[in-house]
Structure 1
């Protein structure tokens, strides 16, 4: 048999270089295959976790929940206090009540006239409009004053401590006889049901029932 010739040094070196190149190529191919497998798996995983058309923002359910929270906070936030509709009538210029008035009398502008003064003793303003009720009382009975016709009735507003009045007209006793002497008057302010009794001395002729009438003017028109 023919024996194989021995390789020269140069041939051995070329063979070794070829082996190194082949080994490097094989390693590179293996690394590339591994990297391709990892990338493919990562892309598939991301595709499975993120729905199609999503840009990575919060899901609609999360957005609605956040919006709902804001709505709830807004709904529970206190608004401006409404205005109060249950304020006492006297605090907004309501009707003057008998309990919040004081009563007195003073001389009128002429004989047969007495001014009945009403003063607001309450803590708030009040108003009244119209004719008062007035009954003169004596030992012989009671006479109710009539409304004086043709007199307009103004609206009178009284601040605390302020006064108003009305006039009582009666025929004075000038006959020289005893006549009828009234010693008190029962006054009812307009639009009120409670009365106040006050001392008042008024003397009229005995036959005043057939003569001039006893009358009152509207509140606010006494002078």
Structure 2
């Protein structure tokens, strides 16, 4: 078994675990579903970690949500990805233009880290910026645990040509170490930045923390590539 893989940061080649360690894992504060059990999936947003979830200012959501099986196996690493970081304008990627998947996990010291990968499946170049939304759900579609928190960072615009990808890091403390109460999700709902419609990804990585000590889940901003 080779050395543990770590996520690069958006600005420096520091592990995602290091970013979360600076934050400190916070105690979860409440569930993410309403009294009927319906999931209140958080919208992705191009704002900073201190901003509230943004609404879709580019018009109504386009297209239905699609699904993509998740995997804990190694994804194909995009070594020549045309995805780039840019501050320039562009047409925002809508949910109907994207496919979501979960890349190969990268274990850390007491941490579990996963890249959430968004791939442009459309025929036109588009952009993503900021944080995706994410929610673990059970087989009935009920959300498990609170919405993830955002690791502080500065969002940049990522340009996706057809077939290229961007990724955001999802991380949490290993439940067997933290002692958090856990649940076994069926899927992870992923909402692209500034969108309302979600993409459902099968969750095959085991139990996740939903309450108790060090049960918070964290997300990073999107950046180019697959996180592999």
> Structure 1 length normalisation: TM-score?
0.51
> Which structure has more RCO (C-alpha within 8 Å, separation ≥ 6)?
2
How big is the shift at 1:103? 1.2
Query: Secondary structure of 2:96's partner?
Result: helix
Q: State the partner residue of 1:114.
A: 114
Q: Cα deviations across residues 33-55 of structure 1 (Å, max 9, x unaligned)?
A: xxxxxxxxxxxxxxxxxxxxxxx
Task: Judge which range, 101-110 or 161-170, deviates more.
Answer: 101-110
Q: Cα deviations across residues 88-117 of structure 1 (Å, max 9, x unaligned)?
A: xxxx83000110111111123324111111
**When the two structures are aligned, how many residues end up with a matched partner?**
132
How big is the shift at 1:205? 6.2
Distance 1:173 1:126, change over 3 A: same
Q: State the partner residue of 2:200.
A: 197
How big is the shift at 1:170? 1.8
Q: Write the distance in 2 (CA, Å) between the matches of 1:210 and 1:178.
A: 8
Q: State the partner residue of 1:26.
A: none
Greater share of helix:
1
Unaligned ranges ≥5, structure 1: 1-91
Q: Write the distance in 1 (CA, Å) between the matches of 2:114 and 2:105.
A: 5
- Correspondent of 1:156 among 134, 147, 158: 158
Q: In the TM superposition, what are the counterparts of 1:84-95 in structure 2 within 5 Å? A: 93-95=90-92
Q: Cα deviations across residues 47-89 of structure 1 (Å, max 9, x unaligned)?
A: xxxxxxxxxxxxxxxxxxxxxxxxxxxxxxxxxxxxxxxxxxx
How big is the shift at 1:196? 1.0
- Correspondent of 2:176 among 157, 174, 185: 174
> Structure 2 length normalisation: TM-score?
0.50
Q: State the partner residue of 1:183.
A: 186
Root-mean-square deviation (Å): 2.8
Query: Secondary structure of 2:154's partner?
Result: coil
